[in-house]
Amino acid sequence: MRGLYRRCSLWRTGREAPHSLFFFSNALCTDTNNIDGVQGSRIKVFDRHFRRKQLDRAAWLMRSKDSFVDAVAENLLDRLEDCKKTFPTALCLGGQLEAVRRLLHGRGAIEKLIMMSASYDMVKLCRNAERELQTENIETSFMVGDEEFLPVKESSVDLVLSCLGLHWTNDLPGAMIQCRLALKPDGLFLAAILGGETLKELRIACTVAQMEREGGISPRVSPLAQVRDAGNLLTRAGFTLPGVDVDEFVVRYPSALDLIEHLRAMGETNALLQRNTILKRDTALATAAIYDSMFATEDGTIPATFQVIYMTGWRDHPSQQRAKRRGSATVSFQDIQKQFGSET
């Protein structure tokens, strides 16, 4: 038992409505290589085809309730309660769709929800789970699509949500720019991604084991964004009023093998394009032994750190707060110093 610290097709349920909200062809998707004059990345880090297979497998292995995933989804959705604005139409991208839908509980006053994943099996899982949610009158649509090529019209949704999905995109700035373009003016972008400190214990154990057994190292854990990069990503994507905050979760497992099984069930195993597809038995056993010897606690469990970065951004709108024009101040700092400096 773990302990917790801290191709497009469409299905629709609920009331029928026209499908004019969506484009259904990659030819109509935004070109992420040059959006709003920003040159996108052409470097391919992740194998998107293999990533789709990971999600297919996760759809079959996924637990009905996962304490870590539920905590992240709950923290992400809590941010909707901080907004007085309502979001009639929302798009939920990839990642942990089922947890977001199950824990939504009417937050954001969402009337139409589009759930999209690159995995057909994951979408099917969410569709089947939707039948058990009879208490909320939300018109829900299901779409198979890629986060790197959003098949959504510009200015068509009020809210874009992504829970533990966008960190697998090859061009994260480009994907976020497409999310901004999909939003209506004054629309909200909310995302949770895994940060660079995630699975630091596993990285260390893998490195030591490979050096001992193979005389060299190859990447076994996917690269992730650092906290300092998140604000720059929001600004580069053109979001206004950007906000970034971080949570760190420590999940305890009976062994390293249980950790790997949990990562598979979440669809969070290695998807690097240039990954080593062969893991020797000796190296795997050495990794588990080193992990246990270096990080095991008194009760025999091993900790695994998950750093979650939450990003918030808005599409530009005239009603939003703006910085005053430079030189428009009516009070000088000298006057302020004279007024408050004399009191001290």
User: Above pLDDT 70, what percent of the chain?
Assistant: 86
Q: Whole-angstrom Cα distance, residue 196 to residue 189? A: 21
77: which 2 tokens? 């959705």
Q: Whole-angstrom Cα distance, residue 69 to residue 103? A: 11
State the CATH number of the domain containing residue 82.
3.40.50.150
Which structural domain, as residue segments, surrounds residue 283? Answer: 48-315
Banded model confidence at residue 298, pLDDT cuts 50, 70, 90: very high
Q: Whole-angstrom Cα distance, residue 340 to residue 344? A: 7
| Cα separation of the two ends of the chain | 58
Domain assignment of residue 154, yes or no: yes
Neighbours of 275 (CB within 10 A): 17
Look at residue 184 and tell me whether its pLDDT is greater than 90: yes
Dihedral angle at the C-alpha atoms of 161, 167, 173, 178, nearest 10 degrees?
-40
Domain assignment of residue 30, yes or no: no
Domain assignment of residue 344, yes or no: no
Q: Whole-angstrom Cα distance, residue 198 to residue 222? A: 10
Banded model confidence at residue 216, pLDDT cuts 50, 70, 90: confident
Banded model confidence at residue 341, pLDDT cuts 50, 70, 90: confident
Domain assignment of residue 211, yes or no: yes
Region label for 182, one of left (φ > 0), alpha (ψ between -120 and 50) or beta (otherwise):
alpha
How many domains in the chain?
Answer: 1
Domain assignment of residue 65, yes or no: yes
Q: At what angle do helices 200-214 and 256-266 cross, to 10 degrees?
A: 120
Q: Whole-angstrom Cα distance, residue 238 to residue 231? A: 11
CB 165 within 8 A of CB 34: no
Domain assignment of residue 341, yes or no: no
Domain assignment of residue 37, yes or no: no
Domain assignment of residue 298, yes or no: yes
Q: What is the pTM of this model?
A: 0.82
